[in-house]
Each structure stands twice: as C-alpha cells, then as structure tokens.
A = this chain, B = another copy of it.
Amino acid sequence: MPLSREQQAEIAVARGQTRETRRATVPALEEILYEAIPVLDHGFIRVVDYMGDDAAIVQAARVSYGRGTKRVSEDQGLINYLMRHRHTTPFEMCEIKYHVKLPIFVARQWIRHRTANVNEYSARYSILDNEFYVPAPDKLATQATTNRQGRGAVIAGAAAQRVLDLLRGDAERAYAGYAELLNEDAAGRPRDPSWPGLARELARMNLSLNFYTQWYWKIDLYNLLHFLALRADPHAQYEIRAYAEAMLDTVKRWVPLAYEAFLEYRMNAATISATGLQVIRRMLAGERVDQPSSGLSAREWRELMALINADAAS
C-alpha cells in the first residue's frame, strides 16, 4: 500500500472540501484531484494543484498574436497551430503540481529535467520507510544485444526467481543495516542503548537505489510535455515510462485540446533528416531506392523504412 493511513486521511479531507473561485477550473481534473494513482509496486502520482486550462493557452496566444475567435473548433485549430510551429510560450501559461512517490534510481533520471520546481523528502532530516522496488516478473529482462542501452528478452522461470530473491534479499539487508545505524525506534529512542547511532545524513548511504523517495514536483505545461515526450517514449526505461504514462492520463483530463495536439504533432510525429526527406521524394517520384543509394547509414535506413512502411499504418 503506497500511502500511509495518515496520508489517506488527509486526502479524504482535502477531497471532501470545495471552495468558490473566480479562476478557471477543470472539472475532469478536479474529479481526481489529490487522489493517488498507483505506479509500480509502491509508487504513485497525485495531482495536488493546477493553474489554467486549454483556454489559458488560447488567451496567451491571443495576447501575442492579436484577437482571434473563440469557438471551440477554432481553439483546437489555434492550439494545433501553436504545437505544430513550436510556439512554446503559450503552453508555459499552465502549471501543474504533482506529489510523486518513486524509486531513487527513477528520481535520478527524472531530476535531469531542470525546468521544474522540486521539494524532495529529505533523508538528512527524516527516516525513510522500508519500501523498495522489485520489478514485476514480466518486467525482468536481459541486456539488449543490439543496443547498449535497453532491455532484451524477458527472464522467466528459475532465473527470474533468482533475480527477485537477490534483489529482495539485498534490499532487506540494506534496510536492516540502515535501521541498525540509525538506532532509533518509532518513538525516537535508541533501540540499542549501548551505542549512540549514526547521523541520518550518513546512515542513508547504506540504502540501495531501489528504495522509494517522494517529492512535490511543479512544472509548466510546455516543459511537462517535453518531459513526457522523452519519458513516455518506448526508448525510455520502463520504470520511468510507467510514471510518464500515468501523467499523460492526467494531461488528457486537464487540457484535452493540447493533449490531442501533442499526440498528433509530437508523440506520434517523426522528424525526418534532410537526406531522409530526399529518399521519400525520390520514392514518391517512382524511383527505386535502396540503402546504398540512399545516402543513409544502415541504421538510419532501417529506422526510416520502419517509419514509412505501409504495414506500419495498419
């Protein structure tokens, strides 16, 4: 259970209260506000605040580009135009705040995105819980052989059990060491009165990277979409992708027009190189092109063929 009883009670209270506001509201997002959406074995994301909606994007664009029309169909057209032409600033006018619980190795990838505000649980001040990530059996995979980054075949059977036992065993032991170093019981008294216990800021180094941490993470919509484009991508590590996909669902509730534009012009779009465009032009003109005559490397050729192959369209 990813949430403490106390957290669950706080969420129930927060969800039970409504107030009046003159600000724009988004009922579909209000519906899930504060709720924990489970991710991985002990993690979650929760939307805890937001500012703006699709109309705020349109309004910001109208400030820049002058007066426009206001019908919904035209809002979608304008948002599509902005996304297509990478006019980024109107999307920066919306802001969202998440509460996220995630394994430390995922947090390390995540934090590389520098354009967000973060408040992380501090193990200098506080004691981490005994919660660590162990992959579900279908998520255990070998190293990819064609790609130095990434996963190959799923590991099954006894080998899988061996992996899980090892991960669990080492994490349990790491936590036991951490607890022994801290030497504090739940009431903050020494568990073993014969020695003093180590400072929290030092003891934490005994924990492994699959332990869970949590943070508040606040970001504008433009930078959130950039994050999701990278982290919901099939090349992203599964564990961070799981978070990105849960967040995509919240974006769909929050700014449905921007979400559609994002799928069409970013997530499911592709950038084709100068030489790749030449290949397409030659093919459409009826020329037979193969890799050696394409000017593309073998790898780029494979990727381009995968992209434009009619079968991929089905």
Show the binding face of A for B, using Cβ within 8 Å: 14-15, 17-25, 30, 33-34, 49-52, 56, 59-61, 63-67, 77, 84, 86, 89-90, 92-93, 95, 97, 99, 103-105, 107-108, 111-112, 114-115, 117-122, 124-126, 133, 135, 140-144, 148-153, 155, 159, 162-163, 166-167, 169-171, 173-174, 177, 180-182, 195-202, 204-210, 214-216, 218, 220, 230, 237, 263-265, 267-278, 280-285, 297, 300, 307-310, 312-313
Contacts and interface: CB of A to CB of B under 8 A. Distances in A.
A2 to B, nearest CB: 15
Contacts of A112: 89, 111, 118
Given A18-B22, A56-B49, A198-B140, A126 B66 contact: yes
Contacts of A66: 121-122, 125-126, 148
A215 B112 CA distance: 13
B195 A159 contact: yes
A198 B142 CA distance: 4
B19 A201 contact: no
A189 B312 CA distance: 36
Contacts of A206: 166-167, 170-171, 208-210
In the A-B complex, the 4 residue pairs with the smallest Cβ-Cβ separation, listed nearest first, are A285-B310, A268-B274, A66-B126, A92-B117
Given A65-B125, A66-B122, A170-B177, 15 more contacts: A22-B33, A49-B51, A60-B216, A63-B99, A63-B214, A64-B119, A64-B122, A65-B122, A65-B149, A93-B117, A163-B181, A166-B181, A269-B272, A280-B280, A281-B313
Contacts of A105: 204-205
**Number of identical protomers:** 4
A284 B281 contact: no
Contacts of A118: 89, 112
Contacts of A24: 19, 49
Given A23-B33, A216-B60, A237 B95 contact: no
Given A20-B25, A105-B204, A105-B205, A64 B273 contact: no
Nearest to A307: B277
